[in-house]
Structure 1
């Protein structure tokens, strides 16, 4: 008998995160699921909603509450896993340009339902834990306290890197430069994910992060002119996009930002947000001797967005076998990184992460 899962969703429409993940679990998009989706909760239903149509097509009930979805089939045959997708929807923004998605509330209600009905099953939480570090830590602590297998984040860190390179080089990495695009928070998080997925492989990792500093607009380019960040690495990574050959974002990127990450061991990480210029996540890594590698994340740019296939497979592996693709501490740290970057951007000064330090062994399942 296949494992059974419930999904908790903000909105469900074409090419939304619910669509590219949950539709696969329903057997859409050419995907053959290994688990059975048995219940859905969808908080906001819009004119372009897909959940009602797919509910009828696949015979999957839509529940009125998160508790009803999580407790579906209990006590005789409770669900074996829960997928929480708190992305997209009509939710407010704060003064730091953060979208206030209800991931904390979704997790609180999910865990409360599990406690009430005596359920202990794996959870997947899409993207970062929360826009607030205190809330993120609450989620981490509560899941760990219950001993629940927990997977979070996105598909981007699990894509193939092209061109291929010897991953052993990452052990010597001292400077990690990531080119990103899209919104500061929504896609900047992906840039932080790529950064941490690479940086955690270095010798002695992971001791954590000391500080984060965000620069934007002319301030970013002036810092480059002063030699405060490695322009050459940015250009080496951008050169992997043929259409960008000979072009510089300084002249063409309208609202750039740079997130500067200083690790406890002195390693430096950079995420350049180059919206309307870069079109993929590319990176360059340099060692102490000046040698470097450069590559990009091979994401699918058109429907059905093949990188979500790998993510869905990893989710199913967790539901079936309890196997995690990475340590959840990586996702906690990347949550802290993007939240601190957005606060630094708002306050226009560096921020210490001593209060939010995360040290971990990057080997999964230890």
Structure 2
């Protein structure tokens, strides 16, 4: 088990803009006019009892994961009543287990955990819950309902649905009809998240009598994206729509398009990187579907509420929900300015 020195205490002023698809708190106390004459006792954002929150995430070897980690730290800095303990990011489940054991031994007030492997971290997360420490599970689910007090997730199936619905709109708006050639560049096919994204895409396309004509898969890396896209372009001489699951992978995908001098198609991305949003602004990409990099930041807010025994001020229910699934909106030239502050660098 690593010593306490192996945990990094989040310090320093960090600025961040986070968007909660499910709002947890209000920034300003409501007025009597706002509430129809009733004044709440306090706002959830008002400083309360100090709480110690342990945060553990995977190694930031991918732009989205780096954004997840940095947004969590930045969000904690917004609250003077949060003492955030950050474990070193790792892709080793055994090391992450030891980090959680340290949090348990330190008797933190709450834990926010994006597990390297949900099944592998289930046992130690359950131990934390049994020790009376609420666990907020982020993005990759545990294999037991007893391992977390609250789970906050992106919507992988919803990403596919959003991409497919937008593709249907493009087919209609551009009179592509039944002859539209729609292609898909997936991530790692063995992962459930990839399967969910593909299922959602296919299901949405079926609503407008379309389907995926050609599909290739990468590995969520720049190199694999370039190779997969090159293979696709060689196999298909004319394409109408391309959906690429991941914007980090999309750096390589876009390079393949440029190298082949191919731009006859509408290019849709996934996740919401800064690169993708700049391409949208420059007219080199049609859209990207957001997979929110704010999930761990949202988890920090929820952990604070749980540790302080508060609920979510925008709900009538007095407790934090057990499960929250964030939206997967489509970012286009019409709304890119709104989402650009949330974008991550690849």
Q: Could you say whether these structures have the same fold, taking a TM-score greater than 0.5 normalized by the shorter chain as the test?
A: no
Report the TM-score, using the length of structure 2 for normalisation.
Answer: 0.39
Report the TM-score, using the length of structure 1 for normalisation.
Answer: 0.38
